[in-house]
Amino acid sequence: MNLEDFTIRLKEKGLKVTPQRLAVLDALVENNTHPNAESIIKKIRRKHPSISVGTIYNILDVFVEKGIIAKLRTEDNIMRYDPLVKEHHHVYVKDKGDIIDYFDDELTELVKKYLSNKNEFSKIEIESIKINILGNKIYK
């Protein structure tokens, strides 16, 4: 998704397009590594030193609340932000600290079908499947 797409999403969600919100979106769009708040703040403050840290956190919270971005917690308990809200999975590469998006509709449907046949899920409507795969890079 590019900055223009996010601008449209802001309007669709009833949010004003402000320079501060665009700066936060710009920092997320340019960074596909699922940055944490500190990384986002550092990037924004290089170009816009007058934006307060509180404003950035508030914008991130509003974006998550409105479904414009997603928030995810890593295995090492760090909160990160994902500009992709389309259903997908994540691969955590522990030794590198990377998070890689993984799209696999077949896997998603397989898990949904599997869980729908389990008694524990008989009264639960599954809205989405988000699988987190944890591993280390193999060096040969």
What string of DSSP letters covers 88-126?
-EEEEETTTTEEEEE--HHHHHHHHHHHHTSGGGTT---
Same domain, 8 and 66: yes
Residue, of 29 and 135, whose pLDDT is higher: 135
- Judge whether 101 lies within some domain: yes
Which structural domain range is residue 114 located in? Answer: 89-135
Same domain, 35 and 64: yes
Same domain, 21 and 50: yes
Number of domains in the chain: 2
Mean pLDDT to the nearest integer, 14-40? 89
In this prediction the pTM is 0.83
Question: What's the CATH number where 25 sits?
Answer: 1.10.10.10
- Judge whether 56 lies within some domain: yes
Same domain, 17 and 64: yes
